[in-house]
Structure 1
Amino acid sequence: MIKKLIVLLILLNCSLSYAETIKTDVLVIGGGASGVAAAIQSARSNVKTMLIEQGPWLGGSMTAGGMCVLDANRNLASGIYAEFRGRVVNFYKNRLGYDTTANAPLVYEPYTGAAILKRITDTVKNLTVKMNTPFTGIKKDGSGWEVIIPIDGKDVVIKTKVLVDATETGDVAAQAGAILTAGFDSRKDTGEQLAPENATNQIQDITWIAILKDYGRAADRTIAKPDGYNAADYACLKSAEVKKWLANSKLPNDKYMVNFPGCGGNQYPVTSDDLSPENRKKTYQQARLHTLGLIYYLQTVLGYKNLSVTDEFKTPDHLPYIPYIRENKRAQGLVRMVLDDIYTPYSRQSKLYRTSIGVGDALPGQHYTEAGVPKINYPPFPAYSIPLGAVVVKDQENLLVIEKAMSVTHLVNGSVTYPSVQMTLGQGVGATAAYCAFFKTTTNHLDVRVIQGEILDFKGSLMPFADVKQGDTAFRAIQQIGATGLLEGFQKVNGSTAEVLFKPDTIVYTAELKPILNEIYARSFLWFNRVKPGEKFTLGNLLSYISEMTLTDPETLNLMMQKSWETKYKFGTKFDLNRPVTRMEFAVLANRYLNPFSRAVDISGKLII
């Protein structure tokens, strides 16, 4: 009898141990802009995925943080971000005055954005989402990870092959033992000419955004005077500026996003120490009071008694659940993205654009209220590609980072952490995590081209070409050719920014093709010496080159191409072997017959021969 009881207890203990362990292929911690996109893509890439978020909403800063007027990536919307954007526009399209222009800033109410993200995740197979779930511990488990979360008052262990840190403050990377830095990097460290001579620990201010509603001209919705309120803190606000800022941040249903910059606004200065777990609660409380003081000042001094907080956030003060955090500590990755990867991507020794897993075009923020912080005079800021190695933590196998923990410099961070950029990038991170899980490999053995192919399969983007949209029949070919460097993008300055254009209808020049073709194809040098193409690369040159590289009979190839010119390839130009080939024609045909995208590259973008 005693033996039977012992066996029963052993079996019961085993079953309890099993019940307290969850296994998944990919675990994403943090349901912000990047985390929710990473989880969606990972699950859609057919691996078992779990997303845990410590708060009540998905979306992070773009919902729970109230940052709901998004102007970045509106010319580069693709993949999951384009899906989210499309659903938001469709929800509001019948509202009077709502701007449905294809590249208008995306504007929505925070709870609507959160609801749309939940609706998307609810329909994704292979995805489990756990809200209001923090993580309490983390440790390495072979090539994977073990993460502890509380469920119903008990500790539960999640065993995962790949771990993604999508927290707003890089908490997972910190606990996992990643090497982290913060603040301004020195010029000597990064080689960036715009960087200050000496490093500092100053990071960008956080902002506790407020969503205010207009309750009518006659209403008096003045809030209680906040603790520590000092009107002098907001005295530099000018009525004209407030009117302008409110007009620029108007939301549907008579609401406004209050994200006022600089003097008198709701920015709150911090260092990375202020955002550490032990200091975070105090810092957040002071930031909330600062924003409440701004609201009180608007109501009692500037006369906006009719504007007050809404009840969409179920917090005691009705401010958002979290602050808008622009920066914290950054992890050391396999590569570090610097400003030159944005301004001069093609002329650098490393070709990180070839490893792109996402695109961005946000103007770098410089949000500091403390005196003495270096002011960076950025030249017009171009759109850019984000390299794979910047999200892979060095010496921490199968750990990926997004949000503020990416391996970038301080001067790059000001752009890449913008919510719509992060949602675009999150899709690439999800594809990377799924690659490791699906092929049972690690971040030490990433196949850049396979990951990029998966991103393109799900309508993501690799290259920031603003003039070739997703619906274009040549989109994928141009994206793939762009990622090889065969045809480079052109920067077109517009004020403080610069679009990157492919210029599909312009002609191709021999000089731009020859170096890369000679690098990729062993017999290319012989062809150039024999044919000696002129300054402008003709259609005849291209077909001759294809014939040489693919060992296809030239007459057969020409005849086949002539028959397919309008029917198969839908080219609107004349089939003429003597005229210069256009960039679009070259991209489509070279991609189809030469397939340079299939040539493997390493994490630095160097071709693997």
Structure 2
Amino acid sequence: MLVVGGGTAGTAAGIQSARLGVQTIIAEETNWLGGMISSAGVSAFDGNHNMPSGIWAEFREKIYQVYGGPKAVETGWVSNTLFEPHVADSIFKQMTAAEKELTVMHQLRFVKALTNGTTITGAEFINTKTEESITIHAKQIIDATELGDVMASANVPFDMGMEADSTTGENIGVPATNDIIQDITYTALLKDYGVGADCTLVKPANYNPMEFDGCCNEFCSDSTKLASNVTAAQLLDYGKLPNGKYMINWPGKGNDIYLNLIPLTYEQRQQEIKKAKEKTIRFVYFLQTQFGFKHLDFAANEFPTADQLPLIPYHREGRRLQGVVRFKVQHIAEPFKQSQALYRTGISVGDYPIDHHHRENTNAPQHLNFYPVPSYNIPLGALIPKQHNGLIVAEKGISVSNIVNGTTRLQPVVLLTGQAAGALAAVSVQQNKQPREISVRTVQEVLLKANAYIMPYFDVRSDHKHFDAVQRIGATGILKGKGEPYKWANRTWFYPDSIIASATFTNDYKEFVGMNLTSSTVTIADAVTTLTETAKQYPVLQKNNKWNFLNRSELQRQISDEWANWGFANFDPQRSITRLELAVLLDTVINPFQLKEVDHEGHYK
């Protein structure tokens, strides 16, 4: 299996694939791993603080170990987890080196995809050090490039820019389709060299402090231009890192810039990137001279670059796959009311608001920042092309609407989507099938075994005894959660200790068995009845040697014997059963998650 791009998603994909025993190569252009959270210098995680899932949780725990715990990395107000970029690169290199089936090849710049009809068979690279051409063939390829370059080279259909509301049905307020993408940023990492130090840069060419008018309330000629009502010191503390360093990634009249690099050649991109670097240098000079922060300078040796800037720019958006499914705002806002039950096919989770950066392009709609949504899960079909074989898409190129990209692009989500891409690719190789032929449930089970979330529940965390059961039952739709937009960390509640109205339960269970329950709320006895009625409809259950589905009284006794082992008390058949108890009972005895397969739209087969 080949992963093109050792960025945030690509590194996670390679690790997950190798852990499943599949020989895997990560081909990366730079000599670092981690992409936006290391090479681009965006070393602060946006979101998922309360959903410690999979490789994201592993990475965060290693960050804690480096710095001495969670409090040690709560240094800036943009995030709960901030760190130095070189530490992220080091951790990813340790994680990849631990996988015997994984080979990382650095300094390989992607040139083109190799195809046979509509099947992607490999990729051609150039070694940036030796200028040697290198070809790698693989059974499955993951496009984990920053801008979706592999799918473009292979002529896989994609979208770029904003879709009109009439196209997506999102009703966000985008009147017409356009090619506008989000602003990019060339971040800077500054270090405090102490009181008395004068690190002032040479005045950059074309410097005009009014370029940053409105960046904070201490430099604003017109209150209507104020991008963020913070002081200059607060602007710095936004991205304050451990060890006296500062991430300069300021969106409001700071160092964001509008450049659409997507359709350009490699050489053209490099010319445009210079503009982003120059703006960031001007902004650093502005901070030094306008507010007296002359003791701050580029952090020496943070990046292996001559100009001490990051290795790559921070891309918030690239090409977006036209996938088997398209994930839209309505799927996040009201997942249980859509004709497509995409929530049943979830493979990664996120909780950050929809965050669009368009201030540097006045032609872009300016109202899309922090559109309120609950937490969500990304459907497996968003990673899979409609018709092309041999390719899975990750990073920011998955099949989502432009609006939804504003949240799925963020670091923890991209890590987890990459992990899912690696799982899907590995299973495809092992089963000798194309990705769209792989069972959704198979991929989800692989991820659950890797301690990853497939449902975005806030109140049943991964360290809960019955986490897997709740995740599986949630993914069937039998017990639905409730979403809530909430500040910077949106939520979906499972409500494990609540009881269930019988009418609600029978309506949501009818995809499996139609039943009538006479009690107003579901009792333990009703739950036992549900098991016996289900076994009548699915004879495969009756082959189970553990549970006596043919004798209801005996089945109830068996469950009573297990009740305390599951961590529950008071086995009274006449009392109302809690949602957690019901989830564990259903999952353990009949496992609805595996009883009926779902397609990529979440419909039961």
Question: Counterparts of 1:41 and 1:84 in 2: how far apart (Å)?
Answer: 13
Contact 2:141 2:390 in 1 (8 A): yes
Greater displacement, 214-223 / 369-378: 369-378
Letter in 2 for 1:534: S
Partner of 1:441: 433
Q: CA deviation at 1:195?
A: 4.0
Partner of 1:132: 107
Q: CA deviation at 1:144?
A: 4.9
C-alpha deviations, 1:210-266, integer Å up to 9, x for none? 110000011001122223322221233334532112223111110011111122x00
Partner of 2:459: 467
**Which residue of 355, 362, 366 maps to 1:375?**
366
**Which residue of 126, 135, 151 maps to 1:173?**
151
Q: CA deviation at 1:534?
A: 1.9
Contact 1:380 1:497 in 2 (8 A): no
Letter in 1 for 2:266: P
C-alpha deviations, 1:270-326, integer Å up to 9, x for none? 235575535311210000000000001111222110011012112222111111110
Q: What are the within-5 Å matches in structure 2 for residues 558-569 of structure 1? A: 558-566=556-564, 568-569=565-566
1:148 aligns with 2:124: yes
Greater displacement, 510-519 / 340-349: 510-519
Q: CA deviation at 1:172?
A: 0.8
Q: CA deviation at 1:32?
A: 1.0
Partner of 1:4: none
Contact 2:499 2:577 in 1 (8 A): yes
SS of residue in 2 equivalent to 1:405: coil
Partner of 1:491: 483
1:242 aligns with 2:225: no
C-alpha deviations, 1:157-187, integer Å up to 9, x for none? 2110111010111111111111122111001
Contact 1:362 1:421 in 2 (8 A): no
Partner of 1:253: 243
Greater displacement, 471-480 / 306-315: 306-315
Contact 2:73 2:80 in 1 (8 A): no
Contact 1:251 1:257 in 2 (8 A): yes
1:351 aligns with 2:341: yes
Q: What are the within-5 Å matches in structure 2 for residues 134-533 of structure 1? A: 134-141=109-116, 143-150=119-126, 152-238=130-216, 239=218, 240-263=230-253, 265-271=254-260, 277-311=266-300, 312-368=302-358, 369-376=360-367, 379-495=371-487, 498-520=490-512, 524-525=513-514, 528-529=515-516, 532-533=517-518
**Which residue of 580, 592, 600 maps to 2:576?**
580
Letter in 1 for 2:577: V
Q: CA deviation at 1:517?
A: 2.2
Greater displacement, 235-244 / 211-220: 235-244
Report the aligned-residue RMSD.
2.0
Contact 2:163 2:178 in 1 (8 A): yes
1:85 aligns with 2:60: yes
Seen in structure 2, the aligned counterparts of structure 1 residues 496 and 250 have a Cα distance that, compared at 3 Å, is: closer
Contact 2:352 2:488 in 1 (8 A): no
Partner of 2:534: 549
Hey, which bits of structure 1, 4+ residues long, moved more than 6 A? none
- With normalisation by structure 1, the TM-score equals 0.90
Q: CA deviation at 1:355?
A: 0.9
Contact 2:32 2:39 in 1 (8 A): yes
Flag structure 1 segments of 5+ consecutive residues without an equivalent.
1-25
Greater displacement, 166-175 / 241-250: 241-250
Q: What are the within-5 Å matches in structure 2 for residues 10-25 of structure 1? A: none
SS of residue in 1 equivalent to 2:313: coil
Question: Counterparts of 1:417 and 1:270 in 2: how far apart (Å)?
Answer: 17
Seen in structure 2, the aligned counterparts of structure 1 residues 497 and 87 have a Cα distance that, compared at 3 Å, is: closer
Number of residue equivalences: 572
SS of residue in 2 equivalent to 1:444: helix
**Which residue of 2, 11, 27 maps to 2:2?**
27
C-alpha deviations, 1:71-97, integer Å up to 9, x for none? 311111211110000000111017985
SS of residue in 1 equivalent to 2:491: strand
Question: Counterparts of 2:386 and 2:71 in 1: how far apart (Å)?
Answer: 50
Flag structure 2 segments of 5+ consecutive residues without an equivalent.
219-229, 536-548
Seen in structure 2, the aligned counterparts of structure 1 residues 226 and 552 have a Cα distance that, compared at 3 Å, is: farther
Q: Percent identity?
A: 35
Contact 1:208 1:324 in 2 (8 A): yes
Q: CA deviation at 1:546?
A: 1.1
Letter in 2 for 1:451: V
Partner of 1:539: 524
Question: Counterparts of 1:181 and 1:474 in 2: how far apart (Å)?
Answer: 40
Question: Counterparts of 2:166 and 2:472 in 1: how far apart (Å)?
Answer: 35
Letter in 1 for 2:161: G
Question: Counterparts of 1:174 and 1:49 in 2: how far apart (Å)?
Answer: 22
Partner of 1:12: none
Question: Counterparts of 2:53 and 2:427 in 1: how far apart (Å)?
Answer: 20
Letter in 1 for 2:34: G
